[in-house]
Structure 1
Amino acid sequence: MVLVTAPLIGFSGEIIWPIGQILLPVKIGDAEHSTSTWMNFVVVRSPSLYNEIIGRPGVRKIQAVPSTAHRMLKFPVLGGILTLRKQTIAIGSTLIEEGWRALCGLLRRNLDIFALKLEDMTGFSRHIAEHRLNVREGCSLVRQKKRSQAPKRNKAIQEEVEKLVDAGLMKEVHYHS
């Protein structure tokens, strides 16, 4: 990991200081059609709905053509062109007033690419975008203590998870040790 000296500025103006930057191999696509490249990732210690965000350098690196009007990203793979359909799942709720105004403006300008509710997320195939843990054979798993939440927050978390499971966007997976 390489040291990063510049902060990241969030949508609501919050400042996040990166822990570092790391170059990692990335494979995008499914089992039959994919492309691979090395991409830089900025490592932060911050709660987020997203594990990673591919920026313009990454889009250029895989020679992708994004279309906000069609909510998709197309890029060349061996044997043809692969199409990923873009969909957003949730928006943070901790924005200050100025952040809300900026977010509302962004949403109004890009109504065609955001889903307002889970039912609006159609055409999503797990085979295109499915996250898996890349665990090396023979390595022992690291077990962490379950983090507890306040009862009210725990109930809200459980309700959101149930919505995602019911919509088929998330499923429980058991890893054997």
Structure 2
Amino acid sequence: MATFNVLDSPSSYNIILGRPAINELRAVASTYHQKIKFPVGARVGEVRGDQPYSRKCYLEAVRVDQSKAKKEGKKARIEEIGGRVVEKGEVHFVAEKDHEIIEVGPGISPLTSEHHLNILPRSHSMKQKKRHFGPEKEKVIDEHVRDLLKAGHIGEIQFLTWLSNVVLVRKSTGKWRMLKNAGATYQCLMNKVFEKKLCRNVEVYVDDILGKSKEVAEFIADLEETLPL
């Protein structure tokens, strides 16, 4: 038996186990394996986590904090950046030699733009077997994956719910391109960022930004408006 405090407060979690409860249950928790194990008589009880729902709760915690802060007229304390929840605000790095301070912004809030995979709610998870693409394509895939890992756009997971092979498409230049479906989301984000300038002095296609002016004399002023210092 355990004693719990019942709170009337918005949260993405139904229950939170603190150290006293974990100690009372003699439980061992592993965030890496998303499991909790505890003795039940002569056996071992086990609670397994689910990655999609864990991710959903993870992001919901951010939205709850942001919604609460908005109602109170404050800045949100945390937000989701690159798949991680971080303290909101600028991050300062101090160089060892010249003590130069570099400020890094917090990125794009998921309330502004967020990518979704359109999967039917009743669909069952599928795991495809690894397909062999041949030496040429395997090398291209390896390079693409390394670039995405280095950029922080993807990460390794240990317990797979959905798994499918990548698809390579040959470009007009003869090189291979690995298909990604976040392009439309990125384009929507760019449309929001340049909403007041589109079709007036800016045109945007994904990551290509074109500045334009009706008159030569207006070009510098338009650039300063689009890219303020």
TM-score w.r.t. length of structure 2: 0.28
Larger relative helix fraction: 2
Structure with greater Cα Rg: 2
TM-score w.r.t. length of structure 1: 0.35
Larger relative contact order (C-alpha < 8 A, sep ≥ 6)?
A: 1
